[in-house]
A and B are shown apart, each in its own frame.
Chain A
């Protein structure tokens, strides 16, 4: 965490609405994009990202100030978005983590993203697990370690899913190229 951000966090903890608002403006776009990546539409991302930010800052005293704020916020947004997916598709909470994630991964789509260019479309058609990791790593500049922290999975699993996601994108691009030539 930069000293400036650290100072803003401390001021927020001390009750400064202006400091909290400054942190909101700094992190809102990426928190929104995490929610969008999971939920796949703007309206849902608006609601869930907003809830995530409020939840994070009303519990800011539980944040370990030695850590970076961004992954913590993204993790809250991701978990909140997953909760929303679970609610919509009646997937019970508390299942075995990996299996539950797989189940959720099968029921989410990103139709708006699908209309956004060849590669965007390929990313949109990935399963949620692959799409989330591709977006976090290549578009939101999260390191493998940060993704592992956000998704609460081992770094090795992140690397594996990144590889599988890229392979899937390559396959889709090749298929599309064949179909359009």
Chain B
């Protein structure tokens, strides 16, 4: 409860000036100019090795080559350029390497990858290939998460509506992924979030995954961010 003096002080808040419109305009213009440049800024802040970025940029093509997700490529309708302005990704966290394709040109799909092992291309695993060598090289506590985004409703069945952070407990253990060793566990989670259908594949270095691996993967999933539209 305020004393009369406190009420008097509160009432005098108009004595504190605010910034002028001119100063605000100048400050906002300089603020915008100083921001890291859009998606590139995000990628720079994460110090992603260029080779890993280019590897991720071709992942959607690889998914097609693997027979995965065909028919779900989305289109951004003309006049909705803002839909391509933002990128999926993972907020930075110690011990995790992340890459994002940004919003690639059609027919590729926006994809973000997180791995707690070095995410590096191996001989024969160059641009345009799924990081199968990295996944097949997983052991122990290794985890790789691959998130691919499609326009919501762009596929036949539709993914169940969910909200971020996605819960790994909603995922189902798969019976092996083409090209991936049976010793690697693969959890698959489908989620409709906002305007996107998210296809989340999580690979573990042991099969079945340990509780520690599941907890680590969940923590990283908590850091997943997706474009708003």
Contact = CB atoms under 8 A, between A and B. Distances in A.
A32 B18 contact: yes
Interface string A103-147: 000000000110011111001000000000011001100000000
B87 A169 contact: no
Interface residues of A, number: 46
Interface string B38-49: 111111010000
Contact of A15 (B10, B15, B18, B40): B40
Interface in B1-55: 3, 5-6, 8-13, 15-20, 23-24, 26-28, 30-32, 34-36, 38-43, 45
Contacts of B23: 32, 42, 46
B105 interface: no
- How many residues of B sit at the interface, in one of the four size bands? 35 or more
A15 B41 CA distance: 6
Nearest to A165: B9
A33 B23 CA distance: 13
B85 interface: yes
Nearest to B39: A15
B89 interface: yes
B85 A16 contact: yes
B16 A36 contact: yes
A14 B31 contact: no
Question: What DSSP secondary structure best describes chain B's contact surface?
Answer: helix
Contacts of A19: 228
B155 interface: no
A82 B85 CA distance: 37
A33 B42 contact: no
B69 interface: no
B19 A28 contact: yes
A111 B87 CA distance: 47
A120 B86 contact: no
15 contacts: A10-B225, A15-B40, A18-B85, A21-B28, A24-B27, A28-B19, A28-B27, A33-B17, A46-B26, A49-B19, A53-B31, A58-B36, A119-B8, A120-B15, A166-B5
